[in-house]
Amino acid sequence: MILGDFLKALGQTGDPRFRRVLWLGLGLSVALLFGVYAAFLGLVNWVAPDTVLLPYFGEVAWVDDLLSFASIALMLVLSVVLMMPVASLFTGLFLEDVAAAVEAKHYPELPPVPRIPWRDVLADTLSFFCLLVGVNVVAFVLAIVFAPFAPFIFYAVNGFLLGREYFQIAAMRRVGRQGAREIYRANVLPIWIAGMLMAVPLSVPLLNLIIPILGAATFTHMFHRLSRNRSG
C-alpha cells in the first residue's frame, strides 16, 4: 500500500505540472539546506570564532570557506542530519503546491480548495521546526547513552514526526485540522512506517534533495487512500 503510494508519486515525475513543482521543490530544498548549513557554521563560528578543525576536511572557517569546495562537500555529508529540519521546513512552504499537482492528475473529480492562509502556514511550519529540533536534541542524547540503537532512535523519532506532519498537512487541505487528526489517530502505525521510509533516504546525500517533494506527493496519495477506506 505505502509502496503503491510512492510509486504513484514517482510515476508522476514526467508530468509537466509536477515536473515544474519538482524543480521548484529541488531548488527550495537546496536553498533550505544551504540556509540551515550556514546557520550551523554560524553557530560553530560563534563557539570557535577563527576556524574549526574537522576530520578529513581540515580547517573550516566561517565566511571565507562557506562557498569553498571543502565546505560544500562538508554540507553534503552533514545533510545526513540537516535534511531532517529542511524537510520540516519544506512541509508548510511547499506541500500544498505538490498536493495540488498530484490531485490535478490523479483526483481531478475533487473540487478546488482554498489555500491555507500564509500566516497559519508560517506559524505551523516554525512550530514544527522547533519541535523537530528539540526532539532531535533529546534523541541525540539518547543515542549517545544507547549507542547500539542510535540509527533506530534517529529514524524512529524523525519518521514519527515527519510522517505526522506531512500527513496532517496533506489532510488538512481537504478535511480541516480536526478531520486530519481523526484520520491520523486511526492510522498512526502505517503513517509512522511511511515516515520512517521517508527518513531513511533523507539521510543519503544528494538523493535526500528530492525526497521532500516525493514524500509530499506520497503522503497526499496516502491521505486519499486512507480517507476512501474510512468512508467506505
Amino acid 174 reads: R
Rounded to whole angstroms, how far apart are CA atoms 172 and 175?
5
- pLDDT of 209 reads 80
Helices (H), the chain: 2-11, 16-47, 69-106, 118-145, 150-186, 188-202, 211-231
Would the pLDDT of 190 be above 90?
Answer: yes
C-beta separation of 149 from 143 below 8 A = yes
Question: Model confidence over 6-24: pLDDT tens digits?
Answer: 999 999 988 887 888 788 7
- pLDDT of 14 reads 83
Amino acid 8 reads: K
Q: Which residues 6+ apart lie within 8 Å of 78 measured at CB?
A: 37, 40
Question: Model confidence over 81-109: pLDDT tens digits?
Answer: 777 777 777 777 778 888 888 999 999 99
Number of domains forming the structure of the chain: 1
Would the pLDDT of 64 be above 90?
Answer: no
Q: At what angle do helices 69-106 and 211-231 cross, to 10 degrees?
A: 30
C-beta separation of 176 from 223 below 8 A = no
- Which range marks the domain in which residue 105 is found? 2-231
- pLDDT of 120 reads 78
Confidence of residue 126 (pLDDT cuts 50, 70, 90): confident
C-alpha cell recorded at residue 12: 508522476
C-beta separation of 156 from 196 below 8 A = yes
Mean pLDDT on 200-228 = 89
Confidence of residue 38 (pLDDT cuts 50, 70, 90): confident
- Rg (C-alpha) for the chain, rounded Å, is 18
DSSP designation for 117: P
Compute, in degrees rounded to 10, the torsion defined by CA atoms 225, 230, 231, 232. Answer: 80
Mean pLDDT of the chain: 81
Mean pLDDT on 56-80 = 60
Tell me, yes or no, if the pTM score tops 0.85. no
Mean pLDDT on 187-197 = 95
More confident residue, 37 or 161: 161
Work out whether the CA dihedral 3, 4, 8, 9 comes out positive or negative.
Answer: negative
Rounded to whole angstroms, how far apart are CA atoms 162 and 160?
6
Run of H or E including 52:
strand 52-54
Rounded to whole angstroms, how far apart are CA atoms 84 and 225?
26
Question: Model confidence over 128-160: pLDDT tens digits?
Answer: 888 888 887 888 788 888 888 888 988 999 999
- pLDDT of 61 reads 56
Q: For a pLDDT cut of 70, what percent of the chain falls above it?
A: 83
CA angle 125, 190, 161 (to 5 degrees): 25
Mean pLDDT on 67-89 = 70
Give the three-state DSSP class for 59.
strand
